[in-house]
């Protein structure tokens, strides 16, 4: 059996794996993506893309095309009329994008392939062997009635192969946690009398709940929605089929009126767990997305968290392949593990809040939640956490407080930061009025507001803040992250 040699093997061609593949290929790295499914999964569960993820997609030139074919929801209506209002977000995207994950998958697959990644479908990983110098992967494919085995040798492997990750099992990583809800039915439904308005809605009683997200698909008979329904008294295994009558009944009971179910598209039944691996890095193997963490679907955080995992990890692997210290790769776990832990907490709280059973507790929930969410500071904190715009990474002692925060909110004189990030490089943002500095091929821009100069990482977070004339300071930060040093090497890493 011959062995192919590449820089990085990625297992799993969902959004997490595909964006990592595209980013690494854009940086000039050889990347092979192995996906066991022969085609894009038509029954993907994700359908909500948050503001922070849209910023990540915009930095790759993908957001506008997706938005042109999607619905924009300005908020989420919860129990008791409480509403998570996204129209005040500190982001160009003051809404959530509603579109099936299949559309995200197609856009990211095209991105990865255009950048030069080798995407192989119908190929299942069956074994791996890791050592201090790399990872050897054995995969199996079926064709013409025969079974073929292929082997790859890579410097690093990214496991983005989902909640039932083969790679996670092969490296022996535990996945501690528990099931919190079972027998949830997900479906695309056409309703004659769906919720009015453009936002997402949650309706619930003691026994049932229904979550509805509108698509921009309507005719004279009704409109299409992505529905998530649950019945406390109808707990069935995941393998049990979901019927029209079950979906129609839960919708009518939860909403207090029959919405007129006209048609059901694809549907599936599943359970949701709260689980997270203790370590995201296992030598030269990295766990990302659902392979590293799963949680309640309430809040729509799963796909978004995975995409942001990949955006954080890919440029760091590229940097280390280019000469940066190996310790840079440890920051992937340090930065992303706490974020997922927080996502588990907030999505779990939302799930428990929606499915509260005692009448007194439900009454208190319905009384307090709307009042709290009308307080601007509470409203904006919850909306920002929900959308990912207030999440940040830690900074070192002595560094500016801006370090670790998003740079996408900083206005620049020409265009916007996302356009500068499309090269996959660090970006230097000078102070308003500051002259261009000698920084090799490092992209530069000038702030349109007041504030310090910034060095922005390829994933859109601030790595340094200070005086752009202090070349030693920002160059030292760049060198710490990329391994570049000396005036002749302070340049963009594109090859």
Going by C-alpha positions, the residue among 477, 422, 476 that lies closest to residue 445 is 422
Q: Given this model, what pLDDT does residue 488 score?
A: 42
Of the candidates 62, 83, 86, the one whose C-alpha atom is nearest the C-alpha of residue 73 is 86
Outline where 256-354 has alpha helix (H): 302-321, 327-354
Distance of CA 363 to the CA centre of its chain: 34
Largest interatomic CA distance in the chain: 70
Cβ neighbors of 119 (< 8 A, separation 6 or more) are: 13, 18, 21, 33, 35, 109, 112, 113
Q: What torsion do the CA atoms of 409, 410, 415, 417 make, to the nearest 10 degrees? A: -80
Match 């979906």 to its residue by tokens: 247
Nearest to 26 by CA among 269, 301, 311: 311
Q: What's residue 17's pLDDT? A: 98
**Predicted pLDDT at 312:** 98
Fold topology of 405-489: Glutaredoxin (3.40.30)
- Judge whether 301 and 191 are in contact, CB under 8 Å: no
Q: What is the structure's pLDDT at 168? A: 98
Tell me how far apart the alpha carbons of residues 251 and 261 are, in angstroms, rounded to a whole number. 8
Q: pLDDT 10s digit of each residue in the chain, 495 long?
A: 789 999 999 999 999 999 999 999 999 999 999 999 988 877 667 889 999 999 999 999 999 999 999 999 999 888 888 899 999 999 999 999 999 899 999 999 999 999 999 999 999 999 999 999 999 999 999 777 778 899 999 999 999 999 999 999 999 999 999 999 999 999 999 999 998 778 899 999 999 999 999 987 788 899 999 999 999 999 999 999 999 999 999 999 999 999 999 999 889 999 989 999 999 999 999 999 999 999 988 777 889 999 999 999 999 999 999 999 999 999 999 999 999 999 998 888 888 888 888 889 989 998 999 999 999 999 999 999 989 999 999 999 989 999 999 998 899 998 889 999 999 999 999 999 999 999 888 999 999 999 999 999 999 999 999 999 999 999 999 999 999 754 444 445 444
**For residue range 472-482, what is the model confidence (pLDDT) as tens digits?**
999 999 999 99
User: What is the predicted pLDDT for the residue at 62?
Assistant: 97
**Residue 486 confidence (pLDDT):** 46
What are the backbone dihedrals phi and psi of residue 461, each rounded to the nearest 5 degrees, phi first?
-105, 150
> Which pLDDT value is given to residue 340?
95
β-strands 453-456, 462-466: how paired?
antiparallel
**Domain range list for the chain:** 3-42+100-174+277-353, 177-274, 405-489
How many CB atoms are located within 10 Å of the residue 105 CB? Answer: 20
- In CATH, which of 3.30.2350.10, 3.40.50.740, 3.50.50.60, 1.10.3720.10 is domain 3-42+100-174+277-353? 3.50.50.60
Coil vs helix vs strand at 173: coil
Please report, to the nearest 10 degrees, the dihedral formed by the alpha carbons of residues 428, 432, 436, 439 taken in order.
Answer: -20
Q: What is the pTM of this model?
A: 0.94
β-bridge pairing 261-276 and 293-294: antiparallel
Q: What's the pLDDT score for residue 265? A: 87
Report in angstroms the alpha-carbon separations of 408 from 33, 52, 59, 425.
29, 9, 9, 15
**Do 226 and 241 touch, CB atoms closer than 8 A?**
no
Question: Rounded to the nearest 5°, which phi and psi values hold at 244?
Answer: -60, -45
Mention the CATH class of domain 177-274.
alpha beta
Strand partners, 8: 31, 156
From the list 42, 45, 23, the residue with the least C-alpha distance to 33 is 23
Total Cβ atoms within 10 A of residue 268: 14
Mind listing the pLDDT tens digit for each residue in 55-81? Answer: 999 999 999 999 999 999 999 888 888
């Amino acid at each position: 059996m011959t062995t192919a040699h590449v820089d990085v093997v990625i297992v799993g061609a969902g959004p997490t794996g595909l964006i990592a593949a595209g980013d690494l290929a854009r940086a000039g790295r050889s990347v092979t993506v192995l996906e066991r499914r022969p085609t894009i999964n038509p029954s993907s569960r994700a359908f909500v893309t948050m503001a922070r993820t849209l910023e990540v997609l915009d930095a790759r030139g993908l957001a506008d095309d997706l938005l042109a074919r999607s619905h924009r929801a300005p908020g989420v209506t919860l129990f008791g009329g409480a509403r998570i209002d996204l129209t005040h977000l500190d982001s160009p995207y003051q809404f959530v994008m509603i579109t099936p994950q299949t559309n995200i998958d197609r856009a990211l697959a095209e991105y990865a392939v255009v950048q030069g990644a080798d995407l192989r479908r119908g190929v299942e990983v069956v074994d791996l062997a890791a050592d201090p110098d790399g990872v050897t992967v054995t995969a199996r494919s079926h064709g013409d009635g025969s079974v073929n085995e292929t082997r790859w040798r890579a410097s690093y492997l990214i496991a983005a192969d989902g909640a039932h990750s083969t790679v996670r099992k092969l490296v022996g990583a535990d996945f501690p946690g528990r099931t919190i809800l079972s027998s949830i039915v997900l479906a695309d439904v056409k309703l004659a009398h769906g919720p009015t308005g453009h936002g997402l809605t949650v309706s619930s009683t003691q026994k049932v709940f229904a979550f509805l997200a509108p698509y921009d698909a309507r005719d004279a008979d009704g409109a299409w929605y992505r529905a998530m329904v649950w019945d406390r008294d109808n707990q069935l295994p995941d393998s049990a089929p979901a019927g029209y009558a079950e979906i129609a009944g839960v919708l009518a009971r939860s909403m207090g009126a029959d919405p007129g179910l006209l048609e059901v598209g694809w549907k599936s039944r599943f359970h949701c767990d709260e689980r997270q691996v203790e370590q995201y890095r296992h030598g030269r193997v990295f766990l990302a997305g659902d392979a590293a963490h799963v949680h309640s679907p309430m809040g729509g955080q799963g796909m978004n968290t995975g995409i942001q995992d990949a955006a954080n990890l890919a440029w760091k692997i590229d940097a280390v392949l280019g000469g940066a210290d190996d310790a840079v790769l440890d920051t992937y776990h340090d930065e992303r593990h706490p974020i997922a832990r927080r996502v588990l907490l907030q999505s779990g709280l939302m799930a428990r809040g929606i499915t509260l059973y005692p009448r007194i507790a439900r009454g208190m929930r319905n009384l307090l939640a709307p009042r709290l969410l009308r307080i601007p500071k509470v409203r904006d904190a919850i909306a920002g956490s929900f959308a990912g715009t207030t999440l940040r990474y830690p900074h070192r002692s002595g560094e500016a407080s801006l370090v670790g925060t998003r740079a996408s909110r900083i206005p620049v004189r020409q265009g916007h930061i996302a356009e500068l990030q499309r090269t996959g490089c660090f970006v230097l943002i000078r102070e308003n009025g500051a002259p261009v500095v000698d920084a090799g091929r490092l992209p530069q821009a000038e702030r349109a507001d007041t504030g310090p100069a910034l060095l922005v990482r390829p994933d859109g977070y601030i790595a340094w803040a200070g005086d752009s004339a202090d070349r030693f300071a920002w160059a030292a930060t760049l060198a710490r992250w990329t391994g570049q040093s000396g005036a002749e090497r302070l340049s963009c890493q594109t090859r």
